[in-house]
A and B are shown apart, each in its own frame.
Chain A
Amino acid sequence: MKSLAELQALRDEMKTKIGVRKDGGHRMRVVVGMATCGIAAGARPVFAAFIKEIETRKLTDVVVAQTGCIGICQFEPVVEIYGEGGEKTTYVYVTPEKVPRIVAQHVVNGTPVVEYTIGANAK
């Protein structure tokens, strides 16, 4: 069972490696809306799915963060992805099932998944 002693071992292992991530300097930011509206619509599994996908692909230059209500509650769960130049893509009605494709196509290869964006869904 995982214990603090094992955490100590993990730390020692990480410290011997070069390139342990320092704060700042991210290529991309994935921001999940986690106010009441987002959480009720299922933002937490979406947040967890992004973290797992980014860990699996070892994308150390991508950060997953949260924000509050951005005022488009009817589209929750909402995820905003910010690129290096500050350009923003807003994904709506995000589910954990959509996350691998968003990561592969947009976060890794730089092409937004247009059909999941607010532009393709707003009526």
Chain B
Amino acid sequence: MMQELSMNILDVAENAVRAGASLIEITITEQSGADRLSVTIRDNGCGMTPEQLKNVTDPFFTTRTTRRVGLGVPFFKMAAELTGGSFEIDSAPGQGTAVRADFIASSVDLMPLGDINETVAALIHANPHIDFVYTRRFEDSEMQLDTRDFRRILDGIALNDPQVSGFIREFLAENTSALLSARGTDSTI
């Protein structure tokens, strides 16, 4: 069991990394009016066969050969369903995978989102050759970090160069606090 949703998100995004994706999109949407928090993780990796897709939420199914349990996706599904929300996953060989979890925001069983910026920064630092599009929507506003824009501007400087890494962390922190304070309210999670 993870302590934060952002750790679940990191774990599921790692599946996308191992699926050989060149683009991974992570979107978080919070809408208090709809009492929903939604998380989608979409990749253009190798995708799954119908057989794999059928079994992916089974903890005793894994494609790994080092051991016989795979808990990443089942944990994420459980976290959503505990709140009364829902979970879906779409995938096809060669077409990538999309995971979507909807959480009921007011549920007492909603895990804290946690340090999502540290998740995004860690993914970018550890996988400088993969592009990430991270979008966070809060009520009517949104912020985005698209490493394709960063890469174009950096013109050959690596995304995990220490100075760039530091810039990315500050970019995430500053844009997140601007987003969350846009309506004069703090995020409830």
Q: Check A44 for interface membership: any CB of B closer than 8 A.
A: yes
Q: Please report whether the interface of chain B is mostly helix, strand, loop or mixed according to DSSP.
A: helix
The reply to whether A14 and B163 contact each other, CB–CB distance below 8 Å, is: yes
Partner of A35, one of B2, B14, B119: B14
The reply to whether B158 and A23 contact each other, CB–CB distance below 8 Å, is: yes
Residues of A within 8 A of B11 (CB): 35-36, 39-40
Residues of B within 8 A of A14 (CB): 157, 161, 163
* Most interface-central of A7, A36, A70 (chain B CB within 10 A): A36
Contact A55 to B166, CB < 8 A, known contacts A4-B149, A21-B158, A48-B121: yes
Chain A 1-18: CB-based contact to B (< 8 A → 1; otherwise 0):
111101110110011000
Question: Number of contacting residues on B, CB 8 A?
Answer: 41
Partner of A54, one of B14, B122, B126, B162: B162
List the one stretch of B39-47, B48-56, B68-76 in contact with chain A.
B68-76
Q: Which of A56-113 contact B (CB under 8 A)?
A: 58, 60, 64-66, 68-71
Residues of A within 8 A of B150 (CB): 4, 7
Closest to B114 in A: A44
The reply to whether A2 and B126 contact each other, CB–CB distance below 8 Å, is: no
The reply to whether A10 and B163 contact each other, CB–CB distance below 8 Å, is: yes
Q: Check A28 for interface membership: any CB of B closer than 8 A.
A: no
| Closest Cβ–Cβ distance, residue A123 to chain B (whole Å) | 21
Residues of B within 8 A of A7 (CB): 150, 153-154, 167, 171
Instruction: Give the CA-CA distance A22 to B178 in the complex, in Å.
Output: 34
Q: Which of B137-189 contact A (CB under 8 A)?
A: 149-150, 153-155, 157-158, 161-167, 170-171, 174-175, 178
| Closest Cβ–Cβ distance, residue B174 to chain A (whole Å) | 5
Residues of A within 8 A of B72 (CB): 36
The reply to whether B66 and A71 contact each other, CB–CB distance below 8 Å, is: yes
The reply to whether B125 and A51 contact each other, CB–CB distance below 8 Å, is: yes
Residues of A within 8 A of B167 (CB): 2, 6-7, 10
Q: Check B10 for interface membership: any CB of A closer than 8 A.
A: yes
| Closest Cβ–Cβ distance, residue B177 to chain A (whole Å) | 9
The reply to whether A2 and B174 contact each other, CB–CB distance below 8 Å, is: yes
| Closest Cβ–Cβ distance, residue A13 to chain B (whole Å) | 9
Residues of B within 8 A of A44 (CB): 7, 10, 115, 118-119, 122
Instruction: Give the CA-CA distance A117 to B13 in the complex, in Å.
Output: 29
Q: Check A122 for interface membership: any CB of B closer than 8 A.
A: no
The reply to whether B165 and A51 contact each other, CB–CB distance below 8 Å, is: yes
The reply to whether B67 and A55 contact each other, CB–CB distance below 8 Å, is: no
* Most interface-central of B10, B149, B150, B175 (chain A CB within 10 A): B10
Binding site for A on B (CB under 8 A): 1-3, 7, 10-11, 14, 18, 64, 66-67, 70-72, 75, 115, 118-119, 121-122, 125-126, 149-150, 153-155, 157-158, 161-167, 170-171, 174-175, 178
